[in-house]
Chain A
Amino acid sequence: MRPIMMVVLGTNVRRREWLPSEGPALIVANHNSHLDVFALMNILGLSRLRHVRPVAAGDYFLTRPLRRWFSTRIVGILPIDRTKTKRDCDGKHPLEPISEVLRAGGIVLLFPEGTRGEPEKLESFQTGVAHLAKRHPDVPITPVFMHGLGKALPKGETLLVPFFCDVFVGEPLNSTLPKKEFMNQLDTAFSKLSEELPVQTW
């Protein structure tokens, strides 16, 4: 994947040095394409790769055998069941697997839009990230805005067309805010980062 990311696609990263150098850390990014995860892993580099766990939809990635094998064995996803939002009967919080990784010092990649959605359009964020902030106030949360991969491989397409991808790293968020303010903060961070893009009118 790494040579494909570097040669076929290529990334323009701004403020790479703001990325967390070690875990525990939470990286939140917007989601346009299956390639997003590989772009982020590529930027984080081999030294951090062992600790990186991308959060992914269990109801999508665990359904077919090949997809399941690739995503759990090769990419090392952290499957979350999107259909469950409440505590189940054994009292486990649905976000507990993420907390476990964070407590173990891992770097978690989270796409709070919850789905890839329309290419290059920002969907509204799910509030799971606010719960995580509340549960782990000491873990830095770094917003990363990505643009371009939705053009290279959008949802539902199989033909990869090469495009450069822009990756803008933002300042770590303030995890101490209450849920609503935290979500506002997240929205502002992303709209600020997306404003760095050159204007495209059509």
Chain B
Amino acid sequence: MPLYLLPLFPLIGFVLLICFGRAFRGALGGVIGSVAVAASFVVALLLVLNLSGPTHEVLWTWLPNMAQNSNLKVGLYLDRLSAMMCLIITGIGTLIHIYSISYMRGDRRYTRFFAFLNFFVAMMLILVLADSYPLMFVGWEGVGMASYLLIGFWYSGRNSEQSAGALREASDQEGVANSNAARKAFIMNRVGDLGFMLGMFLMYKAYGTLVIPELMQQGEALAQAGRSVIELMCLFLLVGAIGKSGQLPLTTWLPDAMAGPTPVSALIHAATMVTAGVYLISRTHFLYDLAPGASLWVAWVGGLTALYGAISALNQYDIKKILAYSTVSQLGYMFMAVGLHSYTAGLFHLLTHAFFKALLFLAAGAVIHALHEQQDVREMGGLHRRMPFAHLVSLAGVLAISGIPIWSGFFSKDSILTSAYEQNLPLYLIGLLVALLTAFYMGRWYFLVWRGEYRGHAHPHESDAVINAPLGVLAALATLGGFLNIPGFLGGSQALSRWLSAAVPFEAHELAISTEWGLTIAAVAAGVLGLLGAFLLYRRQAITDVPLRELSRNSLYLDQLYDTVFNRPARGIAGGLDLMDRGVDGTVQGIGENVGAVGHVFTFWQSGFVRSYAVSMLLGTVVLVGYWAVKALGGLG
């Protein structure tokens, strides 16, 4: 089965929905979008089941290189790494599409929403299937575009056509905020893209090719480019990965991206696109293996981001922002793992995180829906009685992300912490602290939303089956996903890691079994302690702020710092230029007006009366003819 079918189906869905959107009434657009992605999922499943070795498929050539007579080809490459990504993208994508059929019902731009989602899935598949960095960059920019379009999806607010004045005004303000969030994401990602491009240029200069399988075949021979060059390449690529994955210091766009509809938050800003950074580094492992310095950078960026996200999530009030900072933090874990060359651990966490974070976002969406767009956790509480199903699946998500045994997060987090302990003790301690904080803020989230008494004014109700079915599937995956990769000391064989080891290096832990048990007990203890702490704090009174209140609510003042360092000087320069522009403009305008005034003097000649023009013509003719006559007759004398 040809690989190009994978991105083709969603692309067809996109073209259909964007060009003939008006033809699809009601939920039909959503069904078409879902079917397109589901078809891709079936293809991905068939491909993975029949995958014996890496498949490389060349489609056509582009970007001609006259000098070396070696044109770059558009090719798709499927190995176990990209196969796993394809399954995540199409599988979770299908669930989220189905969920959106009901969630987005009644939206004015319903069909358009599914067109964008399909476009996103197609681009994401191109990103992971690309056989060369430039093609990966095409997908990379495509998903950035889709993310931009979907963050700003409600660019005019949700009630812009309401007649009530106050409601419309609030909606207008919301629209401006949404558009700004979209722009912020777009611009911060451009900074990262510069890094990606510089990395590509350097790689081309050093090796003369950007085709990933060719680079991989060179193996150790890649080292001849020199250590410093490879380190620089990897650092540039890291900048690109940081931009897409919302890591420090380019992290502030990801929480703002929650302005988009909730399915978008689940699909793009939790499960797939933001993990592209982790994918890029895993895909480029052959270079990172030769660059210990850059790898250490990756690990530390990840560790610090994990801590930053966890601290920021502690005191948020928005039900989705808590989850957004949590995503930042969990992505930090993945970076930490791939930075420590434990690619399989990082990718395993990527997989389980996709399950449980998509689940949590969709459950939050169900809550937001039931409470009529209320997103403030202070206005929630006690929802477990009114929405028992959503409560149950959320509980699964919380237990998974907190690393409670048998739920998937436990296995993946544990394998990251184990490899961190093995290689870098400070990072391990940070990771353990983050695990504690994660369990605590997720406990806070859980108790504020689901337990206690209801504090809002809406009438919450259980969602319909179209929303609940994907939630149920994701809850099952989040609960059982960990069993794909049971570590050795628990009697498993690390099946997923071994399966992935055909594509990325596999690191067997060389720790004593007793140490592994100790690490696991410490990690579980952190999770239990965090949940217990949240339980004790929020059991009696609903809204208690935890330590680091202001610091955490303002996410360590990073936005304010950027405002001071970048925005204010930029605004100053812009103001100066504006003043100058107005000066130049005024001068030009003044010249124009003066010329106009002179011209105006002559307009009194233009009376508009045809007959007076005729008279002046006659007089002129008489004068001319008289002159010629006098001249012809030899003068007056």
A complexed with B: no
Measured CB to CB, the residues of B under 8 A from A are none
Measured CB to CB, the residues of A under 8 A from B are none
